[in-house]
Amino acid sequence: MRRSRVSAVIEIFGLVLVLLSIKAVGQDISTLPAEVIRYADTVYVNATIMTLDDHEMNPNPGTIVQAMAVRGEVIMGLGSNEEIMKMAGPQTEIVDLQGKMVIPGIVESHVHPHGSAISIAREKYKLKSTPEGYALSMDVSATTDETMARVAKAMELLLANAQPTPDEWINISLVHNPELGFASPADVSTLMSSPRLADVQISKSDISEIVPDYPFVLSSASSILSAQEKNVWVHITVGPDGESVRETVVELEE
């Protein structure tokens, strides 16, 4: 028992000497490399990690690294496989991401990605930079089938009274109706979008069957083109002064 106590005293004394030595050379323990203090819980290697450390509004993804070390909820380090593996200990979980991309978590504050998608589509398919075409605002129906039947009927009416060119947009905006269970535009949008693809009620293929040959948007609120009056097709062009010119085409049949 006496020898054990002596050994413990020696170990503590040795630790004190180490700490004093660190202090003597001006080294703060909190600044020591993480791998010296404790190993990482998990190390991710062979990845394409986008750090997004360039905070300017530009397309630059920032520094791209191979590996990442994590302890608890804190990222201990980012760098090459060789650098980060130094932080792995006997109990560290090593995850080989096999080249997969890793990005920081993103909190969606309220954006409209369809606007950028439309801009990309205009450039890719050489469409007019200023949208022109045909717009209709009409009430949503009680069921998806009834809504799509109305969309199909509306398209038949338009094509019977106008000849859209391939670079003109066609936009049908579905107006919410609280009496039918759609209290707001957001409720209508759930018909066309959902966190799970299996829950989407109106898909791209459904729309393509009705409108196969034109750039088409089915929206739950005003979109690239909007008709101010309900149930009336309007043709929207751009006048010499850059302002929209609206011309009534045909009114929906009851």
Local confidence band at 75 (pLDDT 50, 70, 90 cut-offs): very high
> What string of DSSP letters covers 210-221?
HS-SS-EEEESS
- Report the range of poorest mean pLDDT among 4-8, 127-131, 193-197: 4-8
CA of 73: how far to CAs of 40, 69, 76, 93, 160, in Å?
A: 11, 11, 9, 15, 61
Highest-confidence range of 95-104, 130-139, 213-222, by mean pLDDT? 95-104
% of the chain at pLDDT higher than 70: 82
Query: What is the residue whose two structure tokens read 């986008």?
Result: 50
Amino acid at 121: A
pLDDT in tens, 212-223: 888 888 888 766
Q: Are 161 and 207 in contact (CB under 8 A)?
A: no
Structural domains of the chain, with CATH? 32-105 (2.30.40.10), 113-251 (no CATH)
Q: How far apart are CA 67 and CA 46, in angstroms?
A: 6
135 HSE (CA, 13 A, CB side): 22
pLDDT in tens, 12-59: 444 444 444 444 444 454 565 655 567 899 999 999 999 999 988 788
Q: Where are the alpha helices (DSSP H) in 25-56?
A: 34-37
pLDDT at residue number 97: 97
pLDDT at residue number 116: 79
User: What would the mean pLDDT of 128-146 be, rounded to a whole number?
Assistant: 85
Mean pLDDT rounded to a whole number for the chain = 81
CA of 177: how far to CAs of 142, 181, 197, 211, 220, in Å?
A: 9, 7, 24, 25, 11
Query: What is the residue whose two structure tokens read 């929906």?
Result: 252
